[in-house]
Structure 1
Amino acid sequence: MRDRDDRPTVTRSQTRVDAHVKVLDDEVVARAKARGIDALVYAPHFTRLPTVRERAARYSDDELTVVPAREVFTGDWGNRRHLLVIGLSDPVPDYITFEGAMAEFERQDAAVLVPHPGFATISLTRPEVDAHADRIDAIETYNTKLLPHQNARAQRTAEATDCAGFGSSYAHLPGTVGEAWTTFEGDLDDAEAVVDAFRERRPRTVIHRGGAGHQLRGLVEFAHLGYENTWAKLDRMFLSGNEPTLPSNVAYEGRFDDVSVYE
């Protein structure tokens, strides 16, 4: 039997990226590794970029890369459009105009991904994706949280607009991590390499687990959606007046006042 250090070097020919998760802790990391995930894109709601980066660095190691990201809410609460952004160099708040957000992403040369297209009133519609296809690096074609007909609709949107796709667990609960992923050829060995793969729109394959267990995880996540969208959470955010990702937060130094949708 060989000692660990004597094992032959194996070159990984593919990189599996669970391209959107909301949770990150020791349990999440262990589950991702057990399921063969090489990278997680971590984008918790209402959390500023420096905090996301710090947590991503803390949980990254030689086996798993955690890519810091932001799911930015553009528009107001009743007409918001979510954009998943990786490769940001500077923080961007929520609740700014769509055009204001896109201009800032372009300035930073970040990769712009569209999560759950066409879902409810929080996502880009097919006409919106079509209108901005040249500014979008990928749209989500498989999301574990969504129902089959919703994922089928997202796939049709990608095909009709000639956009690259991506898949994710969209895990808000640790048990869902690794239920779906995006596979790129080659070894993407750090966060920058993962960002480049999306930014350069490299070929990829979207894969998800199957069977009753996978379907159950999706239903559990979908049920959790009700909690995620309670008015209590909205009240907490605006009554406090100091939510970390509001444009009025002192951390943004007034840079986004002209594109804020709330005064």
Structure 2
Amino acid sequence: MNDGGVTRVDCHVKVLDDAIVERAKRVGLDAIVYAPHFTRLPDIRERAAAYSSDELLVVPGREVFTGSWHERKHVLALGLEEPVPDFIPLEAAMAEFERQGAAVLAPHPEFATVSLTRSDVRHYAETIDAVEIFNPKHLPWHNRQARELADDLDIPPFTSSYAHLHNTVGAASTAFQVAIDTEADLLDALEEGAARRIVYENGLERARTTARELAHLCYENTWKKADRLFLSGLEPTHPRHIAYDGRFDDVAVY
């Protein structure tokens, strides 16, 4: 799967189908982390397993939306054994990740209104295993800010395509200097701070990728979509959904 002990991982993609798998292989990825919005962990695991192979490892993940829609903070967790819903307080989500021994990543820190702040990352520095220092949705100063944050707090970096669109997959990847053939291998690499390089596109193609993904972000963050998706209480990752057996009712934001 990997070349000479180096494993290229796109640590966060939102879409997964045959075309995604073919693109990932074509651009030289060895693994991707599949973490779609508003999808329960068992469904993510099932789909990841269906598309995983000896040529491309697909690792399931959950990007949990903590807090309310207007003040939500995204946290990416890998290695969860039990589902964690969206729209519970950050402290409740972090406690659950720690209880389950999950690998915890801080995607796009301090970006827009959907991210962990510097203060959040500092507070949970012992729990967070990696901070994203490059994201195709970022403008250059966002990436510089994220890199400074990771350096200041001495937390290992990672990057991802954060692909919501097919053509973005592989636009950025983390090249771990270890062999990663299983989900457990990736968790170990993250939790043990394995050596890595940050790889990403630059120039005109990067600008095009940023423009496409930012346009998609504008749609994704509309209140109309939010209301339709989860505030009705029917969304699978709503904390009051029957699937969670009432475990998060006392901390549900909605």
TM-score normalized by the length of structure 2: 0.97
The answer on 1:148 being equivalent to 2:140 is: yes
Helix, strand or coil at the partner of 1:56: helix
> CA 1:26 to 1:96, structure 2 compared with 1: closer, same or farther past 3 Å?
same
- 1: distance between equivalents of 2:195 and 2:2? 23
Residues 2, 8 of structure 2: 8 Å contact kept = no
The answer on 1:236 being equivalent to 2:228 is: yes
Helix, strand or coil at the partner of 2:188: helix
Offset, 1:239? 4.8
TM-score normalized by the length of structure 1: 0.93
2:180 alignment partner AA? L
- 2: distance between equivalents of 1:156 and 1:186? 25
> CA 1:24 to 1:238, structure 2 compared with 1: closer, same or farther past 3 Å?
closer
User: Hey, what does 1:47 align to over in structure 2?
Assistant: 39
2:149 alignment partner AA? T
Once the two structures are overlaid, the 10-residue window that deviates more, 89-98 or 195-204, is 195-204
User: Hey, what does 1:247 align to over in structure 2?
Assistant: 239
Once the two structures are overlaid, the 10-residue window that deviates more, 253-262 or 13-22, is 253-262
Once the two structures are overlaid, the 10-residue window that deviates more, 244-253 or 228-237, is 228-237
Q: Within 5 Å, which residues of 2 pair with 1:125-144?
A: 125-144=117-136
User: Hey, what does 1:78 align to over in structure 2?
Assistant: 70
> CA 1:37 to 1:238, structure 2 compared with 1: closer, same or farther past 3 Å?
closer
- 1: distance between equivalents of 2:182 and 2:226? 35
- 1: distance between equivalents of 2:110 and 2:178? 31
- Superposed CA RMSD in Å reads 1.4
Residues 2, 180 of structure 2: 8 Å contact kept = no
Offset, 1:10? 8.9
Residues 178, 194 of structure 2: 8 Å contact kept = no
* Unaligned residue ranges in structure 1 (runs of 5+): 1-8
Residues 7, 175 of structure 2: 8 Å contact kept = yes
Once the two structures are overlaid, the 10-residue window that deviates more, 241-250 or 228-237, is 228-237
Greater than 3 Å deviation, 4+ residue runs: 9-12
The answer on 1:179 being equivalent to 2:171 is: yes
Q: Within 5 Å, which residues of 2 pair with 1:159-170?
A: 159-170=151-162
- 2: distance between equivalents of 1:208 and 1:19? 12
Offset, 1:234? 1.1
* Unaligned residue ranges in structure 2 (runs of 5+): none
User: Hey, what does 1:87 align to over in structure 2?
Assistant: 79
The structure whose Rg is larger is 1
- 2: distance between equivalents of 1:189 and 1:127? 35
